[in-house]
Amino acid sequence: MRTAPTILHLDMDAFYASAEQASKPSLRGKAVIVGGIGPRGVVATASYEARVFGVHSAMPTAQARRLAPNAAYLTPRFAFYRAISEQVMGLLRALSPLVEPLSLDEAFVDLEAGGTAWDEESARLAGARLRAEIRAVTALTGSVGLAASKMLAKIASEQAKPDGLVLIEPGTERALLGPMSVRILPGVGPATGDHLRRAGITTVEEIVGAGEDEVVRLLGKAHGHGLYAMALARDDRAVVAERDTKSVSVEDTYDVDIHDRVRVRVEVQRLAERCVRRLREAGLSGRTIVLKVRRYDFSTLTRSETLRGPTDDPAVVREAAARLLEAVDTTGGVRLLGVGVSGLADYTQEDLFAQAAGELDPAGEETAAAPEVAVAEESAAGEWQWRAGHDVRHAEYGHGWVQGSGLGRVTVRFETPDDSEPGRVRTFRTDDPGLEPAEPLPLVPDGVRG
C-alpha cells in the first residue's frame, strides 16, 4: 500500500450551475438550479447560492421551488457541459496516463504513475497547478483532494469544497476517519448505514471498536472484510483508466401522463434520434436497441432487440424502437419514455441496414450535427416551446439565452460570457423569424486561455 499522497481526486464545484453562471453574467452570484423544471422534474445541480436555502441534487424541483422561489431554473445543456468536461479531462491526462473519470465533473488521477508527484510537496504543487489551469481554461473552479488512497482523496476533496485543496498527510488517516459517520465509507448506503446504526455503530471508530468478526457477522464476509479494512484507512483500490462505455441512452419524464398512442410513438421516435446523436458524438455504434416505458402506475417495462451487427443509422434505431413499442400496453398512460443502445462498438456495419433505395437517411447528416437537446420544439398545440437557459441568436440583437416562454411569447436576455454586466431583456413571439437556436459560446475565448 502506498504511503505518499499521490492519488488526486478532482470534483468540479456545482458543475452544471457554475457553468451556467459563468456563461450568463446576469446569474453570477445568484441562486441557480439546473434540472427538470416541470412538476415532476428533479434537481441535477444547485449553485452554492441556492444551497443556502436547502436545495440540493436529486431533490424534486417542486420542493426546490418552494424553498427558493426566486432562483433561476434552467434545463440542462449536456453537450455544453461535456465540452467543458473534455477540456478538464485533457488537463488531467496531461498529469498521468491513469485517469479514472467517475462522471463529467469528477475523476481520480494517479500522479505517481505519471511521474508528476512522488511525495507530499510535489503532490501539493501538482494539485495547485491543476486548479489554476482549470480556472484559466474553463473559468470554473474545482476542488482537489490528495491522499494515499482513492477513498481518502475523495474525502479530502469534499473537505476542500468549494474551490480548495486538502492534502491528508500520511499517518493522520485513522485520526481523521474516526469521528466521521459510517456513511463516509465507500459501499455504505442508506440501507447498510441503518443496519449498522441498529447495531449501535454510527461512526468509523465504532466500526473499528466492534472488531472485524462482528462487522462480518453483521454484513457478511465480502462486505464486512472490505468495510473493516477501509475503517482502518486501508484502501488498495487502484486508479483504473477510463472504462469503456457500455451503453448510450436518453429518456424524458413528462409533466402530464401521455395517453395518446400517436403522441407516444412520436416521443419514442424523437428519443431514438437523440440517442443516435449521442452515439455519433461518441464515435460509437451498437447492436442492441432498448426501450424503457414507465407507466401511470410507476411500473417500469424494458424491451430490447438485438440486431445482426452494430449501427448508428437513425432510421434503423427509430424502426427498432417502434417495433418494441408495439409490444407494450400504454393505454393507462405513460409518465416516462427512454431509448438506449448497448452492445457498443467503434465501427458501423454500414451496408447491413441499407434503405430500400440504397441511400442514407436524408436527415442523417443534419441530425448528427444538431444539438443534443432541442432548444425549441413544437408542442402538441402547434406552438413553439423554447427551453429555459438554452442559447439563441436574434438577427438584430445577437446572442442570448431563453429566460422563459409561454402563451406564444419567449423572453430572451442578450448577453455573452465575456460581458461584465447583465444584458438587456426582450420579448418576442415564439415564431419570430429573426430568432433561432444557437451553439453555446466558449466560457474563455481562445485568445485569452493560458
Catalytic residues: 106
Per DSSP, helices labelled H in 182-299 are 190-198, 204-210, 212-219, 221-231, 261-281
| Of residues 5, 40, 329, 353, the one with CA closest to residue 151 | 5
Strands 72-74 and 32-35, sheet pairing = parallel
What 3-state class would DSSP assign to 216? helix
3-state helix/strand/coil string of 82-137: HHHHHHHHHHHHCCCCCEEEEECCEEEEECCCCCCCCCHHHHHHHHHHHHHHHHHH
**Rounded to whole angstroms, how far apart are CA atoms 347 and 370?**
21
What 3-state class would DSSP assign to 248? strand
Quick one: cell of 421? 454586466
Q: Which helix (H) or strand (E) holds 316?
A: helix 314-326
Q: Going edge to edge, which strands form the sheet with 300-311?
A: 247-258, 334-345, 285-295, 300-311
Quick one: cell of 143? 476542488
Angle between helix 78-93 and helix 15-23 axes, rounded to 10 deg:
110
Note the Cα 183 to chain centre separation in Å: 23
Where does residue 385 rank: exposed (0-12), middle (13-18), buried (19+ CB within 10 A)?
Answer: middle
**Rounded to whole angstroms, how far apart are CA atoms 124 and 156?**
12
Cβ atoms of 37 and 75 closer than 8 Å: yes
What is the phi/psi pair of residue 399, to 5°? -85, 140
Quick one: cell of 414? 442578450
**Rounded to whole angstroms, how far apart are CA atoms 291 and 339?**
5
Dihedral (C-alpha) 227, 231, 232, 237: value to the nearest 10 degrees? 50
Q: Going edge to edge, which strands form the sheet with 32-35?
A: 43-46, 32-35, 72-74
Cβ atoms of 33 and 48 closer than 8 Å: no
**Rounded to whole angstroms, how far apart are CA atoms 98 and 276?**
30
